[in-house]
Amino acid sequence: MPDTHASVSPAKAATWTTVRSGRVRVAAVGDLHMTIDQAGRFGPSFRGVHERADVLLLAGDLTQNGTPAEAQCVASEVTGLGLPVIAVLGNHDHLSGAGATVAAILQNAGVHVLDETGMVLMCGGTRLGVAGIMGFGGGFAVVPGRRSDERAERFADALARLDCDVRVAMTHYAPATGTLAGEPARLYSVLGSSSLGEAIDAARPDLAIHGHAHHGCEHGTTPAGVPVRNVAYPVIRQGLRVYEVGGSSLAGTRQIQTVTARCRR
């Protein structure tokens, strides 16, 4: 399994400039599905992202076939961007049975790969906590007496243990059905799981990011109202999205603002 990054000490973490106190600019994209003949494809979109965001989240399916060569291409795309990069793997990153190698290549490039783990970093004076898991399918049907999933429990624990001001959950599989709109209902069982949503709702993060649902939509919420954003590249149709997160003006009011919407296709 990918290496774990249980936490990054705020004292040791780099300091990044934020737009406003208490808010963090989160850039995100998933489902790059990189092949070796596409090397360099995302460079123009990623270049200068440090001026628009404090952190870049990669929501899995970074490679098409999960090969080390493809992982090297992804690593090249995200090296030297000038901001922290945090990733979870997707099902395609495991297609060649080399998920651990894919993760190691990304980690060697400075990417923090989360797998049922979390980390905290400083963004200006704001502590951003991110917990991640690839996740799994299973669907969203209500099954009385269903046993909780141990992977989801570890993810929930990682989310809950984040000591931070702004909390973000990242999965590859979808945690709720809202962002699956556009996908055939018969595929919901392979696109996500309500167990992931329950884990997220237990911790009530400020934002939940996922990918995997290429034909879904960008905006949704969990049953408890946590904002969910599907950042699969085919959905956002651009190199990345930037969301401004945190800094509620009213207690209990979440503010998620999409900062960028520039198309790079």
Q: Which of these ranges, 60-68, 100-108, 175-183, 223-231, lies near Fe ion under the rule CB under 5 A?
A: 60-68
What's the closest the beta carbon of residue 231 comes to Fe ion, in angstroms?
11
| Positions 129 through 188 that interact with Fe ion (CB under 5 A) | none
Phi and psi for 121 in degrees, rounded to 5?
-135, 160
CB-nearer residue toward Fe ion: 23 or 212: 212
CA distance from start to end of the chain:
34
Over the window 231 to 250, marking each residue x when it contacts Fe ion by CB under 5 A and - when it does not, the resulting string is: --------------------
* Residue closest to Fe ion, measured at CB: 61
Look-up: residue for tokens 């990069």? 85
| Sole binder of Fe ion in the list 63, 72, 91, 171 (CB under 5 A) | 91
Q: Between 191 and 199, whose beta carbon lies closer to Fe ion?
A: 191
CB 91 to Fe ion: min, Å? 4
Q: How far is the CB of 155 from Fe ion (least distance, A)?
A: 17
- Identify which of residues 123 and 232 has a Cβ nearer to Fe ion in the complex: 232
Interacting residue with Fe ion among 90, 129, 205, 227 (CB under 5 A): 90
Nearer to Fe ion, 48 or 182 (CB): 182
Figure out which of the listed residues 53, 58, 61, 123 binds Fe ion, where binding follows CB under 5 A: 61
Dmax (CA) for the chain in angstroms is 49
| Type of residue at 255 | Q
Contacts of 201 (CB under 8 A, 6+ apart): 222, 223, 224, 226
Nearest residue (CB) to Fe ion, 90 versus 246: 90
Q: How far apart are CA 175 and CA 116, in angstroms?
A: 14
For 138, 142, 206, the CA distances from 149, given in Å and listed in that order, are: 10, 14, 23
* Residue 13-52 contact track with Fe ion, rule CB under 5 A, x = bound: ------------------x---------------------
Q: With contact defined as beta carbons under 8 Å apart, do 207 and 155 qualify?
A: no
Distances in whole angstroms, Cα of residue 239 to Cα of each of 33, 76, 86, 143, 257 = 13, 15, 16, 38, 18
Contact code string over 195-214 relative to Fe ion, x by CB under 5 A: -----------------x--
Q: Does 70 bind Fe ion (CB under 5 A)?
A: no
Question: Residue 204 burial (CB < 10 Å; 0-12/13-18/19+)?
Answer: middle
Q: What order of strands is seen across the sheet that includes strand 256-258?
A: 112-113, 85-88, 55-59, 24-29, 241-245, 256-258
What residue ranges bind Fe ion (CB under 5 A)? Answer: 31, 61, 90-91, 212
